Structure 1
């Protein structure tokens, strides 16, 4: 698989499931989700289903769910403004035409006196044909603004993010990172079901194309009973003995089907981190079962979560240097290398990246999901939300610093891999 294609598929899947978590819980809470986007920048592809526009954008660097009330509403109807109204058969407003009113000859033109499109859902104004007559019109749910011939759904307050309970808002934000952990578990589960999972049994697994085991005549599935007359019960014991005896002949007593036989194997010597160890070219044994795959999925997800948290701790304490971090360029290069090893290695790499994305997003930093959750925690302690403008400024500054860090890391990646 081409490196760039592998990267786009893996990273796109991680972002998709992360944003899908936000979308599912936002919709469950009754929040109007205007857009579900993968990528940033200009739209490459889009379609609308129900209330939401689903888009793929040019730059594959993330994604977002645009929820009503999260950004300042783009359209505001003010007193004195002239708009057109498209009414249903009961005289209620279906659409408010903001401009290009001449394109809608059936619209009732009014000069707005007052409008409440959040709570009581009405608009009053002086009708163009009778400027002395003030009329009040009820606004339907749903109803739409029409701006530049494009329809934008009006969001009553109860459909906005801020109107929801603290618990609903928390779950909507938390669901994104949690979905990354769920995705990682599912991928590890699938690897176990399709490819198998390692077991600590003294059984010969897959053999490399070249190696001492193949030369000596060992076969996949052979059960190792003893090595140099020392009984072995686990694969860990087998590896330990082999590693400790580079270039020394070892007598393997193995069981193949119903036969027991002795095979002499001389491990090859290899230097690893300054230490010479023995290798015979055999992978650990694998098994397949539903229960075992589920168990392995949990174990792998826990293990990599722990390892990534340890790495973050080392970053904080200075043991892990900033120039050792990888951004999109570094991840793309690494993904390409992993893809050359096979689909199961690529799947595992994707699962690890998914856990990493989930953990990073939970960090209590502005502009990340963890930063928003921190503000929710403060709200719970205070009993009231923090001023939205102040929170917005904090997140804006955090986003700017995050982009700056991304530029630094990307430049480091370019120097590391291409210069």
Structure 2
């Protein structure tokens, strides 16, 4: 695959799995009537921003996730104080815009001191304009303008915290659930494209070729049928193939494959493996596959989900008990590196890898770690049990600390990724 294509596919992998996750939050928040202020992919400075309807869609610099910012989740508006001078634009007796600065530059507005204002419950505003008290209704989608920035007001019934526990939980859990749905769909697509290994194969195929190893310099390709080595037929016996190669360190082998029905022979010399001392060519054998039926597609996709989930939790367990090294951890750079390597193998293998990443993202976000979806669900569970919410300030502090710790971990693994790249490790 061409390098530009590889880079494009790598970027698209990140974009797809994060976007589908955030879309889950976005869709169910909107269904609950919550005002979604921003739908962001990435963190940090904005690279691209466009507003459609009530929501601003942004692409940010740091490709380490994304977020959906809902009204009421954090301080959003500059407070309007009694006695403060503002200007309002009125249409049909209803305030549509509230200007907090540069008042002399505003045209077609009513200017005055605020007597009373309620932008959450009653949506009412009273202004003292040259000694005359004027009362206005405030439009539920009115905009507040300050320092060149427009912010839509959020009446109480449009805020995240005003919704039922069930509605809020659904808006939160929908992100990981969308990742699970995507993972299942991609696993199903993978099995439709790749099939499954035959039960009683009569031959072996070249499954993978390692770059830089002896086989990568020979005229063999992934998918070739492995016919013979030094005239010895291999058939479906992978152990026989491994045995011949292992015993032939620095001894040239006549390696014959079948491609498009024609035999092709190459001289390949196994390289000594520094860890085991046996000969290696840098190939792996694969069992021929067969197509899957429509029903089998769902069965195999479900099994793949189950097996990968077990492996993912096995990795989490090692981290919890400390059974890992720093080099075992990888961040966005290592993920991008592995993704690019898999993208070079073709669209079929990339589909399977994206399914794994989507499944991992969904599971990871459900962990009860502060700042993740799992932690937010835990707080909602406590609210359901107690009959009242946890102090928002305390909850926000927990999430803030958790987010800071995650960012520190991200910096650490990214630094580790950079060192690995500098050392030329994979």
TM-score (structure 1 length as normaliser)? 0.82
- SS in structure 1 of the partner of residue 78 of structure 2: coil
Larger mean CA deviation between 44-53 and 286-295 belongs to: 286-295
CA contact (8 A) 2:144 2:151 kept: yes
Matched, 1:93 2:95: yes
- What is the rounded CA distance, in whole Å, between the counterparts of 2:285 and 2:304 in structure 1? 24
Aligned to 1:17, which of 9, 16, 20?
A: 20
CA contact (8 A) 2:70 2:159 kept: yes
CA contact (8 A) 1:34 1:51 kept: yes
Deviations 1:167-198 (A, max 9, x none): 111111111111111111111122223x1321
CA contact (8 A) 1:197 1:296 kept: no
Deviations 1:295-333 (A, max 9, x none): 222221221111101111122122233431111121122
CA contact (8 A) 2:366 2:374 kept: yes
- SS in structure 1 of the partner of residue 205 of structure 2: coil
Structure 1 residue 68, shift from structure 2 partner: 0.4
Spell out the pairing of 1:4-403 with structure 2 (5 A cutoff): 4-89=7-92, 91-127=93-129, 130-131=130-131, 133-193=132-192, 195-203=193-201, 207-208=205-206, 209=220, 213-215=225-227, 242-243=238-239, 281-403=285-407
- What is the rounded CA distance, in whole Å, between the counterparts of 2:180 and 2:355 in structure 1? 8
* Alpha-carbon distance change, 212 to 109 in structure 1, aligned in 2, over 3 angstroms: closer
Structure 1 residue 213, shift from structure 2 partner: 4.9
Unaligned runs of 5+ in 2: 207-219, 245-268
Deviations 1:270-295 (A, max 9, x none): 99996999x99453313143322222
Structure 1 residue 144, shift from structure 2 partner: 1.3
- What is the rounded CA distance, in whole Å, between the counterparts of 1:359 and 1:4 in structure 2? 26
* Alpha-carbon distance change, 112 to 399 in structure 1, aligned in 2, over 3 angstroms: same
Larger mean CA deviation between 345-354 and 290-299 belongs to: 290-299
Larger mean CA deviation between 171-180 and 201-210 belongs to: 201-210
CA contact (8 A) 1:329 1:410 kept: yes
Deviations 1:318-371 (A, max 9, x none): 223343111112112211221221111112111111111111111111111111
TM-score (structure 2 length as normaliser)? 0.80
Structure 1 residue 26, shift from structure 2 partner: 0.6
* Alpha-carbon distance change, 247 to 396 in structure 1, aligned in 2, over 3 angstroms: closer
Give the RMSD, CA atoms, in angstroms: 3.0
- What is the rounded CA distance, in whole Å, between the counterparts of 1:363 and 1:339 in structure 2? 29
* Alpha-carbon distance change, 99 to 205 in structure 1, aligned in 2, over 3 angstroms: farther
Alignment size in residue pairs: 376
* Alpha-carbon distance change, 246 to 80 in structure 1, aligned in 2, over 3 angstroms: closer
